[in-house]
Structure 1
Amino acid sequence: MKIHLPDNSIMLSVQDAVQGICQYMFDQLNFNHFSYRRHYNDGATIHLVNSDANDHGRTYLKALYGEGLYARAPDVEEAAKTRTDSPRLMGFLTPQFSVADGLANEPIYRKQIELADLCNIGYRVGFYQRFNDYIEINSFGSSSYEIGVFLNFCIQHLVVFQNFIKYFRTEAEGLIEIIKKDPIILAPGLTLESQKSTPADFVGYDFKKKKKITLRLTGQEAATLQQLSKGQTFKGAAKNLLISPRTVENHIYSAKMKSKCNSTNELLEVFSTLTPR
């Protein structure tokens, strides 16, 4: 799988410039997140995100692609087929408008929400539109509203978002051209289904019971155990892996069930003796 982010210095200037373009809109609407994506038909992607003083935008962007938590154009278009209005409004946890809700049971989708929460990106809505050689998605988010207030605000101010999208396309034209020269490259056949963590076998030998140990773990389960083995707390592991503490607990519970260990300490002792195959 070939994925890379553009040069760090370019990304730094680009994300700060996006913040500048959006700042007035943020101040007026009490929003704090904007994302501009183009998914080209050949698999290339450009993705611009504002980045605040705490660098949440860059953290989100790097984790999103580094952890494989993104969706490609075919995934989005498949979900969008259920809607007839164009440009389409889609949003996370939005009743009648959402095309993303159809993915709610996908592990990748749940991890996206967890990542967004860690990066101070609250509820989001987005506008989807198909062009000849790419699809475009503009997303807006706020961590300041309650869900009901957020949805009502978005529905009542659709024209504001649509006008800002036109404004952003004009103001960010130069940035878009820069990023087009070094896009994020996504593997052509990669889909949400194939992004699910592939299990791997960890093997060892129990000398007391004189038997071979084989423990099949997902990538996230193994990464969580590695973090705890290094002395991290559940919260520390969650922060490093950009997942929630509850997800860490779920991974540990799953690994304990697989290994038939009665405690986390026992699980870590077993894991320390194993090597990936």
Structure 2
Amino acid sequence: MPHSTNMIETLAALTTNGQQMADWNQNLRKITDKIMTSLSGIEQQLTYIKDVSYETSTRLDPTSCAAPNIYATGTYSIRPARDVEPFLVLCDFEDNYNLGGGWTVFQRRFNGAVNFYRNWTMYKHGFGDVNGEHWLGLEKLHLMTRSGRHELLLILEDYDGNTAYALYDRFQIGSEAEKYKLTVGKYSGTAGEDALSYHHGMKFCTFDQENDKSDDINCAENRYGAWWFSNCANCHLNGKYRRKGEHLSTDYQGVLWYQWKGYDYSLKSTKMMLRRRS
């Protein structure tokens, strides 16, 4: 009998232990569920904080010069997308040729203070001062135009005080892997016949990145600048700046728009701007 009693007691103890383990497992599952629920709540809160942070940053750093909280010409910080760090741009609201404001200036020349004969890296990242002569940067142009539809406006001025404009209803710059390929749409304006469409689909060229279609020369070297050269150019607004009295030359190295002033005339000022289309 003592042996039987011991077995019964052992079985009872095992049963009790088994029940305790089951209770522990059940409690552990409850604790685990609570932890997972808490983690899910934390993730939702973090997502909310991230969204609020982005919304706040876009109020402080608009996505473009066409944002509703920008309404006057000046320098602003913009942030085209979440994965882009904010950067400074010059916003233009001069209502050029009754085309309205909200333009982002990405190239400006008017006195020759800045040398535009630069290498690939400089044209990629940009140079100059946005309040003066400058090139904003190919990478920024790509980031601004990679989504949505944009238009391009060019303002040209000669040394007699005459101005002209060229408007393109589509403008996009490809990625660096695509060599910042140029895409432009339909032309309208007063700068003679269309000059830039000759460069549509062309890769950007600098003296150290020869991506033109010429078999004989490096167009960037030959034209002393950087552009979406084909073979070589019908227009070239990044050429050598020439002051009045030196602006007539036959070397094709000036700031040129052939269909308005020909190859021999280097322009006094240029402004290249883009704007997102609604």
User: Which of the pair has the greater relative contact order for Cα pairs under 8 Å at 6+ separation?
Assistant: 1
- What range is the shorter-chain TM-score in? under 0.3
**TM-score, normalisation: structure 1:** 0.24
Q: Where is the helix percentage greater, Structure 1 or Structure 2? A: 1
TM-score (norm 2): 0.24
Q: Who wins on radius of gyration, i.e. which is larger?
A: 2
